[in-house]
Amino acid sequence: MYSYFIPNEFVRSVFHITPKLLKEKGVKGIITDLDNTLVEWDRPDATPQLIEWFASMKAAGIQVTIVSNNKEMRVQSFADPLGIPYIYKAKKPLGKAFQQALKKMSVKKEEVVVIGDQLLTDVFGGNRQKLHTILVIPVAKSDGFITKFNRLVERRIFRYLDKKGQVTWEEEA
């Protein structure tokens, strides 16, 4: 059961994920969370550095789809100016939104990575769909109400996995 919570990779931020590294793995698509993965949960727009990151992925022929549990207005107002497809109210970790994203991008499971900051939604959901998962350190130290609860559960899972020698994770950036 706990194996579902172990990401395939840990990185500090999305900026450590480059088109070159993804291309070497045969990746053609990215399913990414929005809040605290790409930007702080309360930041309405993409940063200049993130806009460059999206452009580098596009230039490399790597598609990006945002899959968020947040409301339509939040996700749409972030994604539309960037021309990034999105799925809102995704109900992660359930699999439907992941399947929708694969279909939107017309890619196979083995050609996709899932990027997120939460074990309980992004990693668990991606792993259940047999997708390659990448966990990033949350962009912000603060969280919305539901995410605060998830973080408590995540810490317990990390402690358990650490005791078993299955995972190590540095939360400091």
How many Cα atoms occupy the beta-carbon half-sphere of 58 within 13 Å?
A: 11
Is the residue at 70 inside a domain? yes
Is the residue at 169 inside a domain? no
**Residue 87's pLDDT is what?**
98
Is the residue at 113 inside a domain? yes
The answer to whether 14 and 62 are in contact (CB under 8 A) is no
Is the residue at 172 inside a domain? no
* pLDDT above 90: residue 86: yes
Please provide the DSSP assignment of 89-135 as one string: S--TTSSHHHHHHHHHHT--GGGEEEEES-IIIIIHHHHHTT-EEEE
Domain containing 77 equals: 2-163
Question: What CATH number did the domain enclosing 150 receive?
Answer: 3.40.50.1000
* pLDDT above 70: residue 149: no
pLDDT tens per residue, range 115-134: 999 888 999 999 999 999 99
Q: Which token pair is 54?
A: 């999206």
Mean of per-residue pLDDT scores for the chain = 89
Helices (H) and strands (E) in the chain, counts: 6, 6
Residue 3: which pLDDT band, with cuts at 50, 70 and 90? confident
Is the residue at 168 inside a domain? no
pLDDT tens per residue, range 13-27: 999 999 999 999 999
Is the residue at 171 inside a domain? no
Is the residue at 99 inside a domain? yes
* pLDDT above 50: residue 71: yes
**Residue 172's pLDDT is what?**
38
83: enclosing H helix or E strand: none
Q: How confident is the model over 108-114, as a mean pLDDT?
A: 98
Q: Exposed, middle or buried: residue 94 (CB in 10 Å: 0-12, 13-18, 19+)?
A: middle
Query: Number of folded domains in the chain?
Result: 1
Residue 156: which pLDDT band, with cuts at 50, 70 and 90? confident
**Residue 164's pLDDT is what?**
67
Backbone angles phi, psi at 25, to 5 degrees: -90, 0
Rounded to 5°, the CA angle 166-69-30 comes to 65
Is the residue at 173 inside a domain? no
Q: Which token pair is 82?
A: 């960037």
Beta bridge partners of 42: none
The answer to whether 102 and 28 are in contact (CB under 8 A) is no
